[in-house]
Structure 1
């Protein structure tokens, strides 16, 4: 019997690309075709992969990012050369800093034309290298499988992120030879060394005010059970970055000080400033700048799949590197008794609990119109149950929601804080719905961010996506405005004109709603939630209390 390996022949390199995508388990690709990449789109018609045309390339990356964050498997964007690739950059940079696995394939001019002045010629590998984990051009047809396979490995392994593959037109169009590579499983990591875990257990036993700081990787589904066991055994107070929303369960909620990010004035910040030991689990400095929370008075422990990215304000005393769940399980087994809170830590957590209760009892009593942010958050809390996924754009509303709207399911809430990218929420919502079409998705933006990606309403309508998009309307880039006002006592470039969002939504074929009074808020949201398919609700918001967000806000000042 011959042991000779037979190399498969392909009529087009594009056919090989598509087969490699199928081997990676890709279910759909998001993108816009063009002459340099259209053979790949053509080959997709003969595959099991669904083509989802989008209205802007950045949104293709956002949708792919949502697929990646929720499933752990890289979502895929497919775009043409030149501006098709350059439009993609914001989405890829966002995915990379948010830790969302995304693979993008971009068309390129023929290799023979790279040194010529031809249209849509760009050095896209140089463009994407600074904002991705991996950026490579396919050099020859026999390298297609290797380059694409390694793009998925880079995007999905370690701390996930984005990867870019440049595909010259001649490689896609011409015959190719080579074999498809099987999708590799992530390498099985073991727990951190026992001796170092023992050291951390001793540090916990000796600490008076230990605190857990949870980052994105802590909220991965494979880590949640171990995290909850550690919280249950230790009773150590916990705070989280925005990206780790939903990682803390209801059983430990009394010791959850809320999320931290942007301005360092939250209960979680107060616990971090009080701490003599901070244990960071799955955290990256891009999620919340260490200078904002690290006083330098606490010992630091870093628990992650990767060593810490050191900077002057983040130099861990101990690093537990390995499989996070296995490490947390071993650490939990070393906890001999639950922590007894110091009076100061108890005071912070009790105050936080009282603030939550105050909002729950009195939030609906805020009666001004336009509507107070806390009234909207309180109304949203009633519709965002455990079966709903929530995607959040960037703006003032982002802070109100991140601080005062709670979730108890990991990856239930998607918030951008790495790049703080406007326009992400609607395309994220479409991607999230595609992962689980039986689950309602609520997305929320300001009127500024919405119009940066609102063209994807057509995509949502075409797909029949069961997505409710909520717009907080104030005719301004208000998050910028509050910072300008504080720094310069005047505003520049933040105001814009009104839009009839109900009519706008209906023009796309979506169901449109507009809240015309404070009393209409809750019934309008319920009616919109009951709509099958895409719906949009416009809510006028009164941001006059926004300056309070930048100080030590107590809800008694408002409620």
Structure 2
């Protein structure tokens, strides 16, 4: 039976198990909107394509299935690029459909014309344009396969509007059948053999494909072999941070002692992580151009193995498949008991709050959240100085409780929180955002209200782009340029959108504010009025200035 391309597309999404899509509507894909109407797939209508893309990316990160985004041609597609960059660097499955000009108008610089293969090529795993309506099922099936295979990532399909509105009689295609990956005996033996020759091993975990079950397997393996485990940047929920073998995170603002431990290790067992520049402090703790520790690298993409580091060996396998096999082994701890115990002591000392200036103290805010939020609460954040407090002082208790961009994208936390609340309406969702970070995507407040996403947003308001100001004061002390912010009344703004909020000007007010926020049935903003001198580092702004002058 003939269907127009929009209905074929929507039916194919249903076959792929898509539960919701995110979009900013455009006339270039009206047929797709019509198809979604018939297919009954919820469409989360957003306010700007950057925020919509981050919501779709967060969905993919939470579920392991591709987040689906619809945007229109030209400015719609280019606005979405920020979320695609997050998906690429975070190894998140995502499928993006872009409305395109009619096929007969190509190469005339028609209204909003863009060559999406060239534009998105460096940002995505695959970019293509569908020219024939009858091939939509084929292209969509392949897009979902590419987005989830190997190292997951984003895929873009451009849809010429005349192709999408045309009719074709074509059957749907079932999703590809897959076998669950399993570690071979030889692969497991390679790891145990490497451990048998080590004296200072360090397990470093990160990357995609993880789950609650995988986190439990990791903990069992670490216990059995008495191994210290470090998480990479914003992958702290891969292991319960309260576990005796968790040693901290190798991220921005990492514990210097953990960084030293990475540099001093004689064996690095890298599970799922690419072991990039953030984890290695700009390749200074480990240098791929110089001899270093033995690196046993487990990663789902065979092309990643050996691309930066010399693996010894490299094992092309999703990390959870490997830790499942390792967890079944009888433990054989080596001569590193004190090495492991010291790693945990260093973590405990690092996470003991250090007081910062001001009546509201971020270290106490994060400590309260860590102690009082339910264990299944989802915490999201974007980028900024405030996030370092979260990384340092919050104990993530289980997998699926952290949503944050390893790409370091500002503005991510709020749209991610909306997506999280839609996916898990019964769980508390708390977004941490700086005043600069929040203002990049706060227009999605109306999206949250429209779709009933009653998350909590904690805004760390210090009146500046704090991280940039910190570096500015260290490099050019006393020469402030381009880092100050004029801010709105955030609770009043939330109420204007249909939410609610409160200002916290003293630390004693914070617990009551959070009780009210968590009980609200609308999006709720808690604005923290912070002392501008407070920084997430081991010094204040005035100390940063002094350091700059000392140079």
Aligned to 2:423: 435
Q: Which residue matches 2:112?
A: 120
Secondary structure of the 2:138 match is helix
Q: In 2, are the aligned partners of 1:226 and 1:326 still within 8 Å (CA)?
A: no
What aligned pairs does 1:218-367 form with structure 2 within 5 A after superposition?
A: 219-221=210-212, 223-249=214-240, 253-263=243-253, 265-286=255-276, 288-290=278-280, 291-294=283-286, 296-307=291-302, 309=304, 314-334=309-329, 336-341=331-336, 343=338, 346-356=341-351, 358-359=352-353
Is 1:371–2:360 an aligned residue pair?
yes
Quick one: distance in 1 between partners of 2:277 and 2:424? 26
Indicate if the aligned counterparts of 2:435 and 2:462 stay in contact, CA closer than 8 A. yes
Q: Distance in 2 between matches of 1:40 and 1:121?
A: 19
What residue is the counterpart of 1:5 in the other structure? none
Measure, in 2, the Cα distance between the counterparts of 1:25 and 1:287. Answer: 36
Equivalent in the alignment of 1:215: 206
Equivalent residues in 2 for 1:37-436, closer than 5 Å: 37-191=29-183, 193-217=184-208, 219-221=210-212, 223-249=214-240, 253-263=243-253, 265-286=255-276, 288-290=278-280, 291-294=283-286, 296-307=291-302, 309=304, 314-334=309-329, 336-341=331-336, 343=338, 346-356=341-351, 358-359=352-353, 369-418=358-407, 420-436=408-424
Quote the residue 1:454 is aligned against. 442
- Give CA-to-partner distance per residue, 1:166-219, whole Å, 9 cap, x none: 00011111112322111224443231x423432321221221110100112363
Residue 509 in 1 paired to residue 495 in 2? no
Distance 1:102 1:241, change over 3 A: same
Distance 2:250 2:458 in 1: 23
- Tell me, yes or no, if the aligned pair for 1:32 and 1:54 is still in contact at 8 Å: yes
- Whole-Å separation in 1 of the counterparts to 2:335 and 2:519: 46
**Paired residue secondary structure (1:253):** coil
TM-score calculated relative to the size of structure 2 = 0.91
1:383 deviation in Å?
Answer: 3.8
What are the superposed Cα offsets for residues 8-60 of structure 1, whole Å, 9 maximum, x if unpaired? Answer: 522x1111111111111111111111111112112211112011110001111
Cα root mean square deviation, aligned? 2.3
Summarize the Cα distance change of 1:308–1:386 in structure 2 as closer, same or farther, 3 Å threshold. farther
- Which secondary structure state, in structure 2, belongs to the residue aligned with residue 118 of structure 1? coil
Aligned to 2:545: none
SS in structure 1 of the partner of residue 28 of structure 2: coil
The verdict on how the C-alpha distance between 1:312 and 1:160 changes in structure 2, with shifts beyond 3 A counting, is closer
* Equivalent pair of 1:13/1:171 in contact (CA under 8 Å): yes
Aligned-partner SS, 2:453: coil
Corresponding residue for residue 9 of structure 1: 2
Are the structure 2 counterparts of residues 348 and 289 from structure 1 closer, same or farther at C-alpha, using a change threshold of 3 Å? closer
Distance in 2 of aligned mates of 1:312 and 1:59: 32
Partner residue in 2 for 1:488: 476
The answer (yes or no) to whether the contact 1:287–1:417 under 8 Å persists in 2 is no
Rounded Cα–Cα distance in structure 1 between residues aligned with 2:68 and 2:10: 11
Deviation at 1:289, TM superposition (A): 4.9
Aligned residues: 534
SS class of match (1:409): coil
Contact 1:218 1:281 in 2 (8 A): no
User: For 1:244 and 1:547, how far apart are their aligned partners in 2?
Assistant: 19
SS for the counterpart of 1:89 is: helix
Instruction: Provide the rounded CA distance (Å) in 2 between the counterparts of 1:521 and 1:305.
Output: 43
Q: Distance in 2 between matches of 1:293 and 1:345?
A: 19
Whether the aligned pair in 2 keeps the contact of 1:270 and 1:348 (CA below 8 Å) is: no
Q: Which 4+ stretches in 1 moved above 6 angstroms?
A: none
Do the aligned residues in 1 keep the contact of 2:227 with 2:340 (CA within 8 Å)? Answer: no
Shift of 1:473: 0.1
Distance 1:238 1:404 in 2: 17
Any idea what SS the aligned residue of 2:239 has?
A: coil
| Structure 1 residues 346 and 221: alpha-carbon distance in aligned structure 2, compared to 1, 3 A threshold | closer
Is contact 1:267-1:349 (8 Å) kept? no
Q: Distance in 2 between matches of 1:339 and 1:352?
A: 21
Matched residue of 2:379: which SS? strand
Distance 1:116 1:354, change over 3 A: closer
Indicate if the aligned counterparts of 1:514 and 1:539 stay in contact, CA closer than 8 A.
yes
Measured in 2, the distance between the counterparts of 1:135 and 1:198 equals 39
2-structure distance, mates of 1:122, 1:163:
16
Distance in 2 of aligned mates of 1:29 and 1:149: 16
Give the secondary-structure state (helix, strand or coil) at the position aligned to 1:523. Answer: helix
| Displacement after TM superposition at 1:220 (Å) | 3.3
State TM-score, norm by structure 1.
0.90
Q: How much does 1:323 deviate?
A: 4.5
CA distance in 1, matches of 2:156, 2:358: 47
1:222 Cα deviation (Å)? 5.2
Q: 1:367 to 1:486 in 2, by over 3 A?
A: closer
Shift of 1:147: 1.0
More displaced stretch, 300-309 vs 148-157: 300-309
